[in-house]
């Protein structure tokens, strides 16, 4: 009996740490791995641009500013103001969508959520797989479905890039997706890169401080290394008198 509280705590810790796996286990889709890379500036810059082109029309990033994003990605602020901001906002402002929430709910059956914290909510791997697994489904209102978000209300906005993707079924098992050749602007590998860059960007937006932390972390480790050398020398100095 005394072990019960202990077991409960262990289970709670397990569920907390394993949040993503818990959420993912509700769909039957073997997730493709995603490894974010915040040192890859070209990827983050491309992701930022792709996001404003293809996603911001519906999803805001209301906890993130254009200015900070520009600084973190080493893009001059004027360049962002001239080429990335379509909403008439200023570079110092938060990244807002111009989509009004109420009609959006009528059009799509669901309001497109703000995506600032999406990578923390669902995990970047989920987003990456979500972007890659839209497929044709005539039974859905928009003619499209998704493997990791069944019966999704979002239109397949990346279709012009990826092309028409269909589920191929064998013995009632429809786990294979195939893009119709020549139906999209990009090759499979190029589209993977697009999905990667957008996800990497959202991974950054979920916790921008991570980028700084990684940079500072290197300096902290170097500092500790130098400190260890000095501490060792000091120890030698002290023990010299004791040993002799
Ligand atoms: C035309 C409007 C529209 C555009 C453009 C759009 N989305 Fe969506 N998106 C939606 C709607 C509506 C939903 C809600 C779907 C639902 O809950 O069924 C959604 C849902 C999502 C979700 C899941 C949110 C959740 O419930 O956790 C993600 C992630 C997402 N969108 C990412 C993107 C990305 C990335 C882009 C750009 C490549 C994009 N969306 C472009 C309308 C849009």
- Name the closest-CA residue to atom 18, ligand 1: 153
User: 118-144: per-residue pLDDT in tens?
Assistant: 999 999 999 999 999 999 999 999 999
- Name the closest-CA residue to atom 15, ligand 1: 153
pLDDT of residue 20: 47
Cβ of residue 118 lying under 6 Å from some atom of ligand 1: yes
Among 58, 152, 156, name the best residue to mutate to test ligand 1's pocket (greatest count of ligand atoms within 8 A of Cβ).
58
Using the CB atoms, write b or e for 193-218: b if 16+ within 10 Å: ebbbbbbbbbbbbbebeeeeeeeeee
Cβ of residue 130 lying under 6 Å from some atom of ligand 1: yes
User: 81-113: per-residue pLDDT in tens?
Assistant: 999 998 889 999 999 998 888 888 888 888 999
Residue 58: name the closest of 97, 107, 26 by CA.
Answer: 97
Looking up tokens 């429809």 gives 174
């Amino acid at each position: 009996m005394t072990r019960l509280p202990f077991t409960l705590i262990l289970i709670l810790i397990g569920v907390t740490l394993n949040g993503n796996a818990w959420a993912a286990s509700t769909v039957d889709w073997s997730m493709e791995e995603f490894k974010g890379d915040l040192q890859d500036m070209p990827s983050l810059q491309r992701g930022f641009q792709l996001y404003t082109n293809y996603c911001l029309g519906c999803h805001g990033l209301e906890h993130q500013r254009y200015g900070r994003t520009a600084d973190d990605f080493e893009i001059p602020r004027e360049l962002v103001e001239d080429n990335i901001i379509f909403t008439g906002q200023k570079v110092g402002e938060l990244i807002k969508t111009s989509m009004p929430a109420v009609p959006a709910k009528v059009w799509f059956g669901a309001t497109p959520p703000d995506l600032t914290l999406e990578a923390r909510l669902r995990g970047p791997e989920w987003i990456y797989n979500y972007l890659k697994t839209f497929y044709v489904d005539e039974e859905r209102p928009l003619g499209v479905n998704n493997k990791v978000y069944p019966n999704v209300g979002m239109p397949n906005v990346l279709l012009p890039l990826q092309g028409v993707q269909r589920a191929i079924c064998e013995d009632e098992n429809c786990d294979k997706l195939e893009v119709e050749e020549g139906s999209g602007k990009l090759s499979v590998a190029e589209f993977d890169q697009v999905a990667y860059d957008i996800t990497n960007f959202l991974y950054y937006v979920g916790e921008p401080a991570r980028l700084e932390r990684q940079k500072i972390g290197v300096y902290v480790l170097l500092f500790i290394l130098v400190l260890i050398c000095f501490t060792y020398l000091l120890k030698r100095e002290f023990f010299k008198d004791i040993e002799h």
